[in-house]
Structure 1
Amino acid sequence: MGGRDLPGGETSSNVWSSLDGIEWTLEGEAGWSPRVCHGYAVFRGRIWIMGGVSDWKRDNQETLKNDIWFTADGRDWTEVKCAKTWSRRHQPATYVFRDRIWIAGGHAEPVNSEVWSWQPPQEWSF
């Protein structure tokens, strides 16, 4: 999901899938903006992405991300709007622990060591 193409380094929001790791299918572009170095987690039957950077050559407050998106099928993505959110960063550590999604550290200026956790609602309404 996402990534960048070489030699120019343009970022993408492409989502690919494979049943065997050999043959791959392009599922399309996700609803989130192109990026690299974002965090991933699988939680409650959904894939989650968090943060990242849209321009690898310029990681600043304009290109760093602090958004959260999820999908149940790899094609339809939904952005999660939170009242409080963590600072923008790329390459965060993301993991699931005690029924929560955690995000820690990552690269940004200034460097930080924030640790945030979030528990999505059990029932979803959009």
Structure 2
Amino acid sequence: MMRPETTIPVVRRIPTNRADAFAFTIEGHLSNADVENVYGLLEAAYEQHDKIDLLVRLNGYEGFDWNAAFKDTTFAMQTRSLKHIRRYAIVGGPAWIHVCANLLKPFLSIDMKTFDSSDEIKAWQWIGAEEIGE
């Protein structure tokens, strides 16, 4: 078992080669605080760029706190995100994520696409960005 001080954060930003391209890796179980952290990072991005491209890599994703998804503040942040995201690539994760994303696509104003983990290079190409070393 890992000691708390060596625990890897659930959400980590992935550096990209474009100022208006943002990427995150999500591992483990998303808590309320993790969801708010992601939206906080995105809110900061929206202040700098009217439109962004987003890639989310789901490695070892174990779900999220359902009450986080249905909080009023989360709904407000989700609605605001729709105005600012041009392309949204979801890489990996459980099959239900891909199913839900494909069901929601016709109702969203953003261009969203899901990719298997083995197709991550295609996801980066699709959003027109590259991961860079820190």
Aligning the two structures, in what range does the TM-score lie when normalised by the shorter sequence? under 0.3
More RCO (CA 8 Å, sep 6+): 2
TM-score of the superposed pair, with normalisation by structure 1: 0.27
Larger strand share, 1 or 2: 1
